[in-house]
Amino acid sequence: MPNRVKTMLQIRAIIQYMDRGESLNNISTLLQLARRTVRKYATRARKSGFTLKELLALDDPKLSAIIYEPAKKDPAKMSSRELYINDKLDYYLAELKKSGVTKLLLWREYKETAAEPYGYAQFSAKILRHQKSTKAVMHFEHKPGDYLYFDFAGDKLHYVINAETEKKVPVQVLVCVLPFSGYSYVIALPDATLPQIIKGLNKCLDWIGGIPRHVKTDNMAQIVTRSNKYEPEFTAAIQQWALHYAVGLTAARVRKPRDKASVENEVKLTYQRIYAPLRNETFYSLETLNAAIEEKLKIHHLTKFQKLDYSRLELFEREEKALLAELPASKFVIKHRAVSTVGADYHVILGEDNHHYSVPHTLIGKKLALIYCRDEVEIYDKHVFVAKHPRNRKKKGWSTITEHMPEGHQQYAEEKKSQEKDAFMARALAIGPNTAKFAEGIFAERGFRDDSISAVNGVLRLGIHYGKDRLEACCGMAIHHNLYSCRSVQNMLKTNKDIEVQSSQQHKVPIHDNIRGKESYS
C-alpha cells in the first residue's frame, strides 16, 4: 500500500520528476506514494509562483514554508499576524531595492514590531511569493571592486574623414562600468572586432587604475563561443586577456536582461551625458572624438547622484579604488599560434608572413609551436621554450641566430660575415676616411646585423645623390656630434648643414698679430 509523504526528500523527488516531465501516475508508482498525495503536492508546487527549478534550488526551510503554506484565506478569516505581514509586503519589496538592505535585516526589524512573528524561513518565503505575484525585481547588491560590466552601445558615433565632402565614418562605442560606484569608461572604436574590444578593455583598466575581480560581458559572438547558464565558453584570445590580468570571466545569461542591467543603464546615461552634448560637434579624427568623450565622461563622474550628496568619482575613490588589484607592468597583446616542422636548414616558417626563423639545429624534423604577436615570435617544443625572434614581415626572408647553427655552419657564417663587412668598409673608405669611420662606428654600436648593414648601405647610397664630398663632410659632422644613424646624415644633407659650415668658415676673419681685438679699445 502506498505511503504518505514523510520527508522533504520525497517532496523534492516529486518536484524533480515533474521537472523531467513524468506523469503524476508514474511519479506515484516510482515513489510508492498515493496518487492523491502526489497530486496535492504537485498542485501546491505549480501554484507557488515559482518554477520547478527555482523550487529545487531553495533550501529545505524555504521549500517547506512554500509547500506547506495553506491556501489563501479570506481576509476575514486570517489571523492577526497574517494580516500584519501581508499589509507590509509592498513596503518590504520597496526597502529591498535600497543599497545594503537585506531580508535578514527586515526580518529582525519585523520581529521587534510583530505581536506573533513568523520565523525567518516563512518570512522570506512570503516576500519571495509576493515578489513573484507582483513581478517585482529584486535588488542586486553589488560589492565594491567585484565586477566590471561592458557592452556596445546600440547607436554609433561618427567622425569626418574628408572636410570637403563631410563624409562621415560610423564608429562603435564600447561602454564599461563598475556597477557598485557607477564609475565608467566609454571609448569609440573603429569596429567591434575582438582586437578592438581588447584594446578598449586595456584602456578601460588604465582609466580606472586597477583590476576588478570579475568582468562580465553580454553574449557577443566575438567573445562567447557557446552560451551556457553555468559554464559559457570563451574565445582563446579573451581567455588569454583574462589570464594576463588575473580576472574572472563571466557572461550574462541569454534572455536575462537583468543580468546586465547596470551596463544597459550606463548606456542610457552615455546617450544623455555624452551623445547629446556632442551631437552638434564635428570631429575630424577618432582621436579627437575620444578626447571629447573623455572630457564629457569626467563631467559625468563629477555630477552628484540624484538625492545624494556625493558623485560617482567620490564613491569610487572612497570605497572601490583601493579594492582593485594592481595593474601588471605591461599591457596585454593578442598572441596567435601556428605550427611548423623544422627543416633541414634548421628554420621554421611563419606562414602568415612567409618568413623563416632559426631554431637549434638539434631540433631538425620536430614539429614546433610558434606563438607570435605584432612584435615578436616565440617558438616552443611542446611547452618548452626554444627561441625568440623579433617579428620580421619580409616575404621569403630569413632570421637566423648564429648559436642555432652547427659548428661548421657557424665558422662559415663568420667568415662570410667578415668578408661582407670588409666589402662595406672598402666602399666607405673609397668615399673618404670620415665615411669609413662613420660606418665602423655603426657596426661597433649595433654589431654586424641586418639593421646595421641596412643603415650603412643607406649612408653609402646618399653619395650617389649628394656627391662624395658632401657625404664625407656630413659624416665628419655626425662623428663630431656622436650621431651614428643614416637619418642624421640624411637630414644634414637635406638641410645643407655642410654647406652652411663651409660658408661660415670662408667668411671667418683669420687670427693675425696685426689685427687688434676689442680689448684694445676699452
Identity of residue 453: I
Helix or strand run (H / E) with residue 387: strand 384-390
Identity of residue 104: L
Q: For the residues 77-90, what does the mean pLDDT come to?
A: 78
Superfamily (CATH H level) for 147-323: Ribonuclease H-like superfamily/Ribonuclease H (3.30.420.10)
Q: For the residues 474-502, what does the mean pLDDT come to?
A: 88
HSE on the CB side for 133, CA within 13 Å? 13
* In contact, 448 and 438? CB cutoff 8 Å: no
Q: What is the pLDDT at residue 75?
A: 53
* Residue spans per domain, the chain: 8-67, 75-134, 147-323, 336-405, 408-506
Q: What is the pLDDT at residue 203?
A: 95
Task: State the cell numbers at 112.
Answer: 521587534
**Is pLDDT at 160 greater than 70 in this prediction?**
yes
**Is pLDDT at 514 greater than 60 in this prediction?**
no
285-340 residue pLDDT tens: 999 999 999 999 999 999 998 778 889 999 999 989 999 999 998 888 888 889 99
Q: What is the pLDDT at residue 138?
A: 44
**Is pLDDT at 513 greater than 70 in this prediction?**
no
Model pTM score: 0.48
Among 188-192, 258-262, 416-420, 438-442, which is the least confidently predicted range?
Answer: 258-262
3-state secondary structure 57-112: HCCHHHHHHHHCCCCCCCHHHCCHHHHHHHHHHHHHHHHHCCCCCCHHHHHHHHHH
* In contact, 399 and 426? CB cutoff 8 Å: no
* In contact, 149 and 263? CB cutoff 8 Å: yes
374: left (phi > 0), else alpha (psi -120 to 50), else beta? alpha
The Cβ of residue 226 has, within 10 Å, a number of other Cβ atoms equal to 10
The Cβ of residue 123 has, within 10 Å, a number of other Cβ atoms equal to 22
H-type alpha helices, 371-432: 407-431
**Is pLDDT at 155 greater than 70 in this prediction?**
yes
* In contact, 187 and 293? CB cutoff 8 Å: yes
Question: Top-level CATH class of 8-67?
Answer: mainly alpha
Task: Specify which of 9-13, 74-78, 375-379, 515-519 reaches the highest per-range mean pLDDT.
Answer: 375-379
What is the rounded average pLDDT for all residues in the chain?
Answer: 82
439-473 residue pLDDT tens: 999 888 877 766 788 888 889 999 988 999 999 99
| Spacing of C-alpha 478 from chain mean position | 45
